[in-house]
Amino acid sequence: MTKDIVVVGAGYAGISAAQTLAKKFKKDQDINITLIDKNSFHTYMTELHEVAGGRVESNAIKYDLQRIFKKYPKVKLVTDKVVSIDYDKKEVVAEHQTLSFDYLLLAMGGEANDFGTPGVKENGFTLWSIKAAERLHDHILESCQKAMDEHDTAKRRALLTFTVIGAGFTGIEMIGELVDWIPVLAKEFKLDEDEFSLKVVEAMPTILNMVTEKEQIKTRKYLEKKGVELILSDGVTSVDKDALNLSSGRVIPTYTSIWIAGVKANTDAADFEIEQARAGRLVANEYMEAKGKENVYVAGDLVYYEDPNKGGRPTPQIVQAAEQTGHTAAHNIIAAITGGEKHAFKGKYDGFMVSIGSKYTVAYVYDKFHVSGFVASAMKHFSNLLYFFGIRSFYNIGAYLRHEFFDIKHKRNMFGGMTSSKGNNLWMVVLRVYFGSMWLFEGIKKAFGLFGTDSWLGDKVVFPFPWLQAAEATSGASEAASETAGAAEGAAQAAHQVFSLNYTYGEEPMQVLKEMPDWFASIMKFMMSNQEVALFMQKMMTFMEIAIGLALIAGLFVWLVSALTVALVAMFSLSGMFFWVNMWFVPAAIALMSGAGRAFGLDYWVMPWVGKKLDRWIYGKPRHIYGLKK
């Protein structure tokens, strides 16, 4: 009998669960898996502060679900907002459709918790969704724009005061982004950097309570050095449009109060008739089964489960817990369907890595390692990449590297912009045409046997490989040649016929390798075992060199062709057919791979066309709404 599994929420927990289910039921026609989310993309929540703080565009952290689920066609994607659950009819009710379920997993995440503090909703900013991050980003730009026109110094300073409430990892990551962004904003809006001010308000006497004192001290020092004011042991009583009021009686004039002091369960799930615990989280048992509901599971930030292995503390609202609870829920859905053994949840967390802007990170991992600075930043990027690797989303590994390293602006990455500084490809045109001409010239020389060399299109083997030359020498091809001239002499002669764009200037150029290494010789012997094959190969090589030359001059497939030339140079060198004087081919080819065909070259038109076609062919057309019948 057919069974319908519906997963609500394509966050870390929902994706982990849907992929686990899809792997298990890959070939099972009786199982339908639907993943429904209000967005057609997965929000990379852990980088929301980068959007809010102007480091990356918001598109950089929106990962299209169709791409993520390319390898899991079993999962049907639906874009819609779930509003209620009808347990009697076993239906998930969304704004535009109703989905039947036999097994339901709720993984709708969390939202900012303002604990009812007056004015937060009306006048404050939060950071728990892509929309919230975009709103905050736009507001900061708008404040700078207003400050630019503001003649009243006090008001201008208030416009340029940005206050984060909450010194947990999210709050510290947010203020870190602002530290990096202020100099950029000051320059762009022609404002005085000294008029900006950054503050963090925290009710506790310490910051970053999830890491050790070591990381806390380092973070404090770093932030204070950057001019951030840390206001500790002070709470917020209310948020006005133009001020933040603290329990101590202090009033901070500011138009930007960023509330990151707490997280609660997604309020969309508040009416799902499942028992709620602290901060509205839905209570589940160790199998992630919702309390009091059959075949309903909860995972991620939404679930409340007191983990006995962690001293009875509720599962933390972090990515690893989301993925692991998602996985446990999926496993137990599988067990329920197949009659297998249930798995109890067992949380295992590696620790925390807190990025404070793009160039500094503190980390405490595996309950013993304290890392900070460049290495910790590298670790954080690596763990982000590992996430995409884990969900088999190789496209997104490339996208992440592009957004974080190669396309980043204002030097806002751990390499200080070294990986993202861009030149004008126009300057590459000369190199491209010159490099192409070299290959074309070499190909033509080989084809016509110019400058006293033998034509590679004739019937004489020119490769200087001993086994071929020995055969040539003993085959009687040249009656006059002495039989005893032997292979060595033949090879020496032939060496002058090979890739010979060398400039002797009165001296013999130096070969990269005089003789082929044995391992390479055995490969070549296998590929070119006799003269017929060798003749075919040398003709092919001649045409290939002409084609490479023409492609480079025309700027067609320059990346591919340049990569091919590097491979050919390696092959020629190992064959004892290449000279050091031409080794510049390699750096030149690598330089041309940076898009040199797009400046006055055919790649300008061809590459976008090919990219689009390939993309559609592999992933299909990305859509803003999935699952709607046309």
Ligand X SMILES: Cc1cc2nc3c(=O)[nH]c(=O)nc-3n(C[C@H](O)[C@H](O)[C@H](O)COP(=O)(O)OP(=O)(O)OC[C@H]3O[C@@H](n4cnc5c(N)ncnc54)[C@H](O)[C@@H]3O)c2cc1C
Return residues touching ligand X (CB under 6 A). 8-14, 36-39, 43, 45-46, 48-49, 81-82, 107-109, 127-128, 169-170, 173, 266, 268, 300-302, 317-320, 322
Least Cβ distance, residue 211 to ligand X (angstroms): 12
CA dist., res. 538 & res. 444, Å (int): 13
Least Cβ distance, residue 21 to ligand X (angstroms): 15
Nearest residue to ligand X, scored by beta-carbon proximity: 11
The residue among 40 and 575 lying less far from ligand X, judged by its C-beta, is: 40
Tokens, residue 198: 């950054």
Is residue 57 within 8 Å of 51, Cβ to Cβ? yes
CA dist., res. 115 & res. 420, Å (int): 42
Least Cβ distance, residue 61 to ligand X (angstroms): 10
The residue among 107 and 191 lying less far from ligand X, judged by its C-beta, is: 107
The residue among 101 and 128 lying less far from ligand X, judged by its C-beta, is: 128
The residue among 175 and 568 lying less far from ligand X, judged by its C-beta, is: 175
The residue among 131 and 422 lying less far from ligand X, judged by its C-beta, is: 131
The residue among 392 and 496 lying less far from ligand X, judged by its C-beta, is: 392
CA dist., res. 127 & res. 120, Å (int): 12
CA dist., res. 272 & res. 617, Å (int): 40
Helix residue spans in 516-600 (DSSP H): 518-527, 531-554, 558-574, 585-592
Least Cβ distance, residue 566 to ligand X (angstroms): 38
Least Cβ distance, residue 175 to ligand X (angstroms): 12
Least Cβ distance, residue 255 to ligand X (angstroms): 21
The residue among 326 and 443 lying less far from ligand X, judged by its C-beta, is: 326
The residue among 34 and 143 lying less far from ligand X, judged by its C-beta, is: 34
Is residue 125 within 8 Å of 281, Cβ to Cβ? no
Is residue 226 within 8 Å of 197, Cβ to Cβ? no
String of DSSP letters for 456-482: TTSSS-----HHHHHHHHHTTSSSSS-
Least Cβ distance, residue 299 to ligand X (angstroms): 7
String of DSSP letters for 320-371: HHHHHHHHHHHHHHHHHHHT-----------EEEEE-SSS-EEEEETTTEEE
The residue among 127 and 589 lying less far from ligand X, judged by its C-beta, is: 127
The residue among 82 and 336 lying less far from ligand X, judged by its C-beta, is: 82
Least Cβ distance, residue 411 to ligand X (angstroms): 22
- Cα-flanking dihedrals φ and ψ of residue 423, to 5°? -105, 175
Residue 496 Cα distances to 449, 459, 504, 520, angstroms:
12, 17, 12, 20
Helix (H, G, I), strand (E, B) or coil at 394: helix
Is residue 107 within 8 Å of 11, Cβ to Cβ? yes
Least Cβ distance, residue 224 to ligand X (angstroms): 22
Tokens, residue 485: 């001239």
Helix (H, G, I), strand (E, B) or coil at 535: helix
CB atoms within 10 A of CB 625: 12
Least Cβ distance, residue 318 to ligand X (angstroms): 3
CA dist., res. 12 & res. 544, Å (int): 48
